Amino acid sequence: MGGRLRVPRTKRARALLAVVLVLLLGGGTAGYFWWKSGELPDGVAFRVGDKMVTVDDVNKEMDTLRALYGVQRPTDANALDRYWRDGAKAQAVSIVLDDAARAQNITIADKTARDVLSRYIAQQIGEGPSARDEFVRALGNAGTSEQAVLTEIKRQLALNQLFDQVTAGQTVTDEEVRQAFDQRRAQLGTPERRHLRNIVVRTKEEADQVLADIRGGSTFEDVAARTSLDSTRTAGGDLGELSSDQLDESYRGPAFSARPGTVFGPVQNEHGWNVGKVEQVLPPIPAEFEQVKGRLKDTLLLEKSLRVWRDWLAEQIKRADVQYADRYLPADPDAPPGDDSIPGNAPAPAGPPR
C-alpha cells in the first residue's frame, strides 16, 4: 500500500476520521500548510508546545508590564525591535515556568493575589475604595486590566515557590564565606552615598523653568511639590541616601559630580527630564568581616542557587519546543533570559500608571 491512506468503510469510522482531519488541518488549507511547512500561522508571535500565542496576546501582556512595572515601549527602531523580541521570549519563558509550576502542584489562591495587590495600591495611592477605583481607571488608560495584573502577581508568587523547590538543598560553609570576604573586601564596604532630591518633568523646557525657579529663590521642596511627576513630590523630591550603582547611568554622573548643596541637571532618562539636588555626601566605609559575614553568606547562597536555577531553566526551555515568528525571534532562543526571570528580580513597580 506504500504511503496511501486506507479509508475506513464504516460510517462511524469515517466520521471519526473527518473530526481528526479537521483538528489536524486547522479547518482549512492554512492549517494544513502550517502543519506541512512548520511555519506559524499569520498573527501568531510564537508557540510553546501546542500553545499558540498571538501578536495581540503579546501586545496585551506588554501593556500589563508597562502598567505594573513601568516597562516602556522604545521609539528608536533598533531598540523597538529588541523590545518585541525580548518581550516575546520573556512571555514564552513565563509559559514554560507556568507549566513547570503546575507540574509541581503550585497554585496561588485568588485571595493571596488580591491581598498583594491591595498592599501595592495602599503603598502607591492610598487606602479605601476610591484608591482602588483610581488604580483600576489608570490600568484602563494604560490598556490593561485589574485581572491581568492579578494574573501577573500570581505568576510571580508561583515563581517564588518554584525557585525554592528547584534550588532546595544549597549550602555555604564558613570557609567559603571567609574566602569570599578576602576576594571581595573592596566591594563589600559601603560605597560613597549621596542624599539626593529630584524633580521629574515631561520636557526640557519645563526642566529649564524648574532650574530658573530654584535659582530665583524658590525652595527645591516647594518646586518639587508643585511640578514633579514623581511620587516623591509630597516629600519635596527626597530620594534618600543612594550609591551610584542605584542610579540610572545617565543620572549618576551628574549626581556624583555635583558639590553638596548644589542643584544639577537637566538630565534626561526614561522617566522624563530630571533636576536634582545633592543634600549631603556620605563617605565610603571599609568592610569588617563580622559586620558583613551574614550578608555575604546570603549572597553566596543566592549565587549558588542562581547557577542551579539557570541550568534547570535552560533545560526546560530546550525541552519546551518553542518556535518564534521571524519578527519575534530572539537572539538566543534557548538561553535563559536575564535577571527578570529570577524571583524577586522582576522590575520594581513604577507607581500607579497615568
Cell of 190: 559601603
Q: What percent of the chain has pLDDT over 70?
A: 84
58-65 contacts, C-beta under 8 A, 24 or more apart: 58/84, 58/87, 58/88, 58/91, 58/328, 60/143, 60/144, 60/148, 61/87, 61/91, 61/148, 62/87, 63/142, 63/143, 63/144, 63/148, 64/144, 64/148, 64/149, 64/151, 64/152, 65/152, 65/347
Query: Sign (positive/negative) of CA torsion 63, 69, 70, 71?
Result: negative
Secondary structure (3-state) at 320: coil
Judge residue 54's burial from the number of C-beta atoms within 10 Å of its C-beta, 0-12 exposed, 13-18 middle, 19 or more buried: middle
Q: Is the pLDDT of residue 253 over 50?
A: yes
Beta bridge pairs of residue 193: 243, 282
Angle, alpha carbons 62-346-80 (nearest 5°): 35
Helix, strand, coil percent content, the chain, rounded in steps of 5: 60, 15, 30
Q: What percent of the chain has pLDDT over 90?
A: 69
Whole-number pLDDT of residue 338: 67
Q: What is the pLDDT of residues 59-82, one digit of tens each?
A: 998 988 887 777 788 989 999 999
Q: How confident is the model at residue 198 (pLDDT cuts 50, 70, 90)?
A: very high
Q: Is the pLDDT of residue 2 over 90?
A: no
Q: What is the pLDDT of residues 172-191, one digit of tens each?
A: 999 999 999 999 998 899 89
Whole-number pLDDT of residue 321: 86
Q: Is the pLDDT of residue 1 over 90?
A: no
Whole-number pLDDT of residue 326: 93
Q: CA-CA distance, 277 to 240, in Å (whole number)?
A: 11
Average pLDDT, the chain: 85
Secondary structure (3-state) at 54: strand
Q: Which residues of 280-293 are buried (b: 16+ CB within 10 A; e: fewer)?
A: eeeeeeebeeeebb
Q: What is the pLDDT of residues 125-167, one digit of tens each?
A: 899 899 999 989 988 888 888 998 899 899 999 999 999 999 9
Asked if 232 contacts 217 with a C-beta cutoff of 8 angstroms, the reply is no
Q: Is the pLDDT of residue 3 over 80?
A: no
Beta bridge pairs of residue 197: 238, 277
Query: Where do the domains of the chain lie, and which CATH numbers do they carry?
Result: 9-39 (no CATH), 40-189+288-354 (1.10.4030.10), 190-282 (3.10.50.40)
Q: CA-CA distance, 246 to 248, in Å (whole number)?
A: 7
Q: Is the pLDDT of residue 330 over 90?
A: yes
Q: Is the pLDDT of residue 344 over 60?
A: no
Q: Is the pLDDT of residue 25 over 60?
A: no
Q: Give 124's Cβ-side CA count (13 Å radius).
A: 22
Q: What is the pLDDT of residues 268-294, one digit of tens each?
A: 998 899 999 999 999 999 999 999 999
Please compute the mean of the pLDDT values over residues 235-263 and round it to a whole number. 95
Print the SS3 string covering 11-28.
Answer: HHHHHHHHHHHHHHHCCC
DSSP 75: -
Q: How confident is the model at residue 225 (pLDDT cuts 50, 70, 90)?
A: very high
240: left (phi over 0), alpha (psi -120 to 50) or beta: left
265 phi/psi in degrees, rounded to 5: 120, -175
Q: How confident is the model at residue 38 (pLDDT cuts 50, 70, 90)?
A: low
